[in-house]
Structure 1
Amino acid sequence: MAQPGLPRVLGVVALGGIIGSLARYGLAEASPHGPGEFPWSTFATNVVGCFAIGLLLARLTPRSHPLLRPFLGTGILGGFTTFSTFAVDTEKLLPEHVVVALVYFFGTVAAGLLAATLGEWAGRPR
């Protein structure tokens, strides 16, 4: 299968980014957090997104459609996960809620790595 041109790749990344960002926004609106509270919706978004990225990368093969990875991975999951909000949430928790900030920061990184590993493991062809 021929490689798609840059305009098509950018188009599917943009479309996927819109979908992923809207899903993240909906989750954040459905489960808001107040000042000093653990940002559960951002945490869940990033952990679920990491699992999905691991699963996706394990399942896609060189024979997969060449627009699948940019659409699903870079677009949808890139728009869905939000490590910029993770950084802002951590900064907002400091210095008044240091323990919550540290648990959130290190917990997100550890859970994201574990989720990506489990997703890759779950997606491996058997």
Structure 2
Amino acid sequence: MIGTAVQVALGGAIGAVMRYLVGVGVFRLWGGGFPLGVLSVNIFGSFLMGVFVVAAAHRGLTHLSPFVMTGILGGFTTFSAFSLEAVTLYERGALGQAALYVGLSVVLSIGGLMFGLWAARAAFA
């Protein structure tokens, strides 16, 4: 358990640094009017999650999942894990659950952020 937690922590540190560097690079190239850095990270991280899931299954590398999926890709973008869960539900034929998961995740996450903003602004006012 401790070894797995260390793998996740190390991978998370790598992913977080990668996310930062991509964000800085995209900002320097295209400016900051639209969140292209976050969008790029989310799309690319989701792509990498898909590649890793298949490659790990075919190559017997699923033992690296905590380091790569939860750690690196989770630190790079949590959107990749969200995307994997949504597609897994879809591929299982649970279309209603997939749609509910996507809808609730987006709406409630944005709602949670807005509530956090409100609560913090009220506390610090």
What TM-score bracket applies, with the shorter chain setting the length?
Answer: 0.5 to 0.7
Q: Which runs of 5+ in 2 are unaligned?
A: 88-125
After superposition, the Cα gap between the structure-2 partners of 1:82 and 1:60, relative to the gap in structure 1 and judged at 3 Å, is: closer
> How far does residue 61 in structure 1 lie from its aligned partner after superposition?
2.3
Q: Could you tell me how far apart the structure 1 residues matched to 2:20 and 2:46 are?
A: 17
Conserved? CA contact 1:42–1:82, under 8 Å? no
1:75 — aligned with what? 71
Larger helix proportion of the pair:
2
Give CA deviations for 1:50-74 in whole Å, capped at 9, x if unaligned.
Answer: 00001111111283262x1000100
- Aligned-residue CA RMSD (Å): 2.6
Q: Could you tell me how far apart the structure 2 residues matched to 1:59 and 1:52 are?
A: 10
Q: Could you tell me how far apart the structure 2 residues matched to 1:7 and 1:70 are?
A: 12
Q: Could you tell me how far apart the structure 2 residues matched to 1:82 and 1:61 are?
A: 21
1:88 — aligned with what? none
**Paired positions, count:** 80
Among 27, 34, 46, the alignment partner of 1:38 is 34
- Mean alpha-carbon deviation: is it higher for 45-54 or for 25-34? 25-34
1:25 maps onto 2:20 in alignment? yes
> Highest relative contact order (Cα 8 Å, sep 6+), 1 or 2?
1
Q: Could you tell me how far apart the structure 2 residues matched to 1:7 and 1:65 are?
A: 18
Q: Could you tell me how far apart the structure 2 residues matched to 1:82 and 1:64 are?
A: 21
> How far does residue 27 in structure 1 lie from its aligned partner after superposition?
1.2
Deviant stretches of 4+, over 2 Å? 31-34, 61-65
Conserved? CA contact 1:45–1:82, under 8 Å? no
> How far does residue 8 in structure 1 lie from its aligned partner after superposition?
0.5
Give CA deviations for 1:19-62 in whole Å, capped at 9, x if unaligned.
Answer: 0000000111222243xx21111100000000000111111128
2:4 — aligned with what? 9
**What TM-score does the superposition give when structure 2 sets the normalisation length?**
0.56
